[in-house]
Amino acid sequence: MQNQKYTLGVDYGTDSVRTMVINTSNGKIMGQAVAPYERWGQGKYCQPETNLFRQHPLDYIESLKKAVKETIAQLSQEVINSIAALSVATTGSTPIAINKEGTPLAMLPDFEGNPHAMFILWKDHTAIGEAKEINKLAHSGNSEDYTKYSGGEYSSEWFWAKILHTLRVDENVREAAFSWIEHCDWIPALLTGNTDPLSFKRSRCAAGHKAMWHSDWGGLPPETFWSKLDPLLIGLRARLYNDTYTSDEAVGTISEEWAQILGLPKTVIIGTGSIDAHIGAIGSAIKPYHMVKVIGTSTCDMMVAPKEEIGGTAIHGICGQVDGSIIPNMIGLEAGQSAFGDLYAWYRELLLWPANKIIGDSNLLDRETKTKLLEEMADGILNELTMAASKIEIGTSGLVALDWMNGRRTPDSNQNLKGALQGLTLGTTAPHIFRALVEATAFGSKKIVAQFQAEGVRIDGIIAMGGVAQKSEFVMQILADVLNFPIRIIKSEQTCALGAAMAAAVASGIYNTFLDAQNAMGSGFQKEYFPIPENAKKYLELYEKYNALGDFIEAQELQKT
């Protein structure tokens, strides 16, 4: 026991934070806990109808304290004393305005209830107009195209668009903001006690994939670009950063204050933060030319390729290519869908609306019975839909759906786009629609695979992780059939936290490389889905109909603009 070393992986998801202490010699989980965000769970500071999604920094702090303390309570003192390092993964791009001391504005009395002073969640699309302006200027031919390593299109989900939108709509935030920080950079800065905006370390993956950082132009796009875009951005670049750091590098050592708060040794090394999908790819045993699909509310599709093979080629239509964003000294490639599991959740809530209204207002049942009945319906509706939809033959419903309910992330980011459903008749049932939605998410994944292949990036295999991959055989078999690829499912249910623990092991020097950490700490695979040839053939026809519907919807959107 005295020779064992342990690391703590922290994974901030959309709804909660998970913490795991891992034995670095064999990957055994020694303790783990999950803590939901209280304010987020109450629906505070969000307006879904306007695509405004904000999270309060206190949610992140309070949930971290709770989850780590619950995890530590499961460990012996020997294990606690042998925790060597901690690394963090978060959603992204999730930026927030900070003052000169690095304090998020929402933590100041004057801003504690102001959504514009809070973290702007990855799926917030209030900055669609600003993203359009960034793309117009970048593509004008008057300067370097700073979007070329971001797939050629800058997204409203990303750093600069969100900042500019906030500066325009909130004068008080504009006056108080000294700089801005990503969630994955703020937590390590907080834990080490170095929150100085001009000196704390910034994540390579967040900077490269979300803020157009690239060595070709010396870091972030230059001041001349931003001043031309909007005078409100003048001077901000100098208050941000030039240097970035990969997740195998340490940020520093935990501060005495936070060591005491969390019950950790004062010697714990804090690793550079990462975006969850990137670190999840490490936890999922990513290797060159194997796509790791992180399948949850949305998807992130991650790949790595040797620098000497990718070279300076700009790959169009994806969410970026960044040297070292996943594995150091390799090019990290990212794509993804803005909605996957969220699409199923939307449909569930749509079907539950009448029940929530009628049963909720009913005088025939007592409060406890109504609550239990509604919970039973909410818990069981997707299972019932799955069982019924699985019995429907491919292509017999006549339905084709489009998965752009939250816009399109890739190929070719366009958050203005909307979902669609074609082929409805009086014979259409709820399971028919559910199956069409599942097929649409699979077709969206196929578009991404096709984009990589069209850009000359080969795909040798597919690995899946995340809640949907773990829980739904129905969805995963359809995905395998549509992609016409075998899909291996990672055994670990928490690969982002596992990947963070691996990153901590490398950042602290327990292992020299991520490959070493993966070999020692990896969970392996629990299942593999193989495409059914006759199904794959049938889906080719439906896929063409999906593409035709998408072309029609996109043409309608172009006419509006």
Helix (H, G, I), strand (E, B) or coil at 333: strand
Q: What pLDDT shows up at residue 98?
A: 98
pLDDT over 70 for what percent of the chain?
99
Q: Are 304 and 274 in contact (CB under 8 A)?
A: no
Beta bridge partners of 93: none
Sign of CA dihedral 201, 204, 205, 209: positive
**So where are the chain's domains?**
341-492+526-560
* Span 314-329, average pLDDT: 92
Residue 332 CA to residue 290 CA, distance in Å, equals 11
Q: What pLDDT shows up at residue 334?
A: 93
Give me the amino acid identity at 321: Q
pLDDT in tens, 255-281: 999 999 999 999 999 999 999 999 999
Cβ neighbours of 47 (radius 10 Å): 13
Q: What pLDDT shows up at residue 255?
A: 98
> Angle at Cα 126 formed by Cα 122 and Cα 132, nearest 5°?
100
Give the E-state strand segments of 59-174 in sequence order. 83-90, 95-98, 119-120
Helix (H, G, I), strand (E, B) or coil at 303: strand
pLDDT in tens, 61-90: 999 999 999 999 999 999 999 999 999 999
Chain center to CA of 401: 24
pLDDT in tens, 323-372: 999 999 999 999 999 999 999 999 999 999 999 999 999 999 999 999 99
Strands 290-295 and 250-253: unpaired
pLDDT in tens, 395-412: 999 999 999 998 999 998
pLDDT in tens, 172-216: 999 999 999 999 999 999 999 999 999 999 999 999 999 999 999
Residue 52 CA to residue 13 CA, distance in Å, equals 17
The first and second tokens of residue 504, run together, are: 């901590």
Q: What pLDDT shows up at residue 559?
A: 83
Q: What pLDDT shows up at residue 558?
A: 83
Q: Are 468 and 441 in contact (CB under 8 A)?
A: no
Mean pLDDT of the chain: 95
DSSP letter for 104, please: B
pLDDT of 118 > 90? The answer is: yes
pLDDT of 311 > 90? The answer is: no
Q: What pLDDT shows up at residue 1?
A: 43
Longest dimension (CA), the chain: 70
Which stretches of 284-366 are DSSP H helices? Answer: 307-310, 341-361
Higher-pLDDT residue of 557 and 134 is 134
Give the E-state strand segments of 91-205 in sequence order. 95-98, 119-120, 179-182
The first and second tokens of residue 120, run together, are: 């702007």
Residue 298 Rama label (left phi>0; alpha psi -120 to 50; beta): beta
* Span 295-318, average pLDDT: 90
Residue 155 CA to residue 504 CA, distance in Å, equals 30
Q: How does residue 560 score in pLDDT terms, banded at 50, 70 and 90?
A: confident
pLDDT of 9 > 50? The answer is: yes
Residue 305 CA to residue 369 CA, distance in Å, equals 55
Q: Are 462 and 487 in contact (CB under 8 A)?
A: yes
Name the phi and psi angles at 422, rounded to 5: -120, 140
Q: Are 469 and 315 in contact (CB under 8 A)?
A: no
CA-to-CA dists, residue 426 to 350, 398, 423, 429, angstroms:
18, 12, 10, 8
Tell me the helix, strand and coil percentages in the chain, rounded to 5. 45, 20, 35
Q: How does residue 312 score in pLDDT terms, banded at 50, 70 and 90?
A: confident
Nearest to 439 by CA among 329, 561, 301, 343: 343
pLDDT in tens, 157-173: 999 999 999 999 999 99
What is the end-to-end Cα distance of the chain in Å, rounded?
65
Q: What pLDDT shows up at residue 310?
A: 85
Q: How does residue 561 score in pLDDT terms, banded at 50, 70 and 90?
A: low
pLDDT in tens, 209-240: 999 999 999 999 999 999 999 999 999 999 99
CATH fold of the domain at 341-492+526-560? Nucleotidyltransferase; domain 5 (3.30.420)
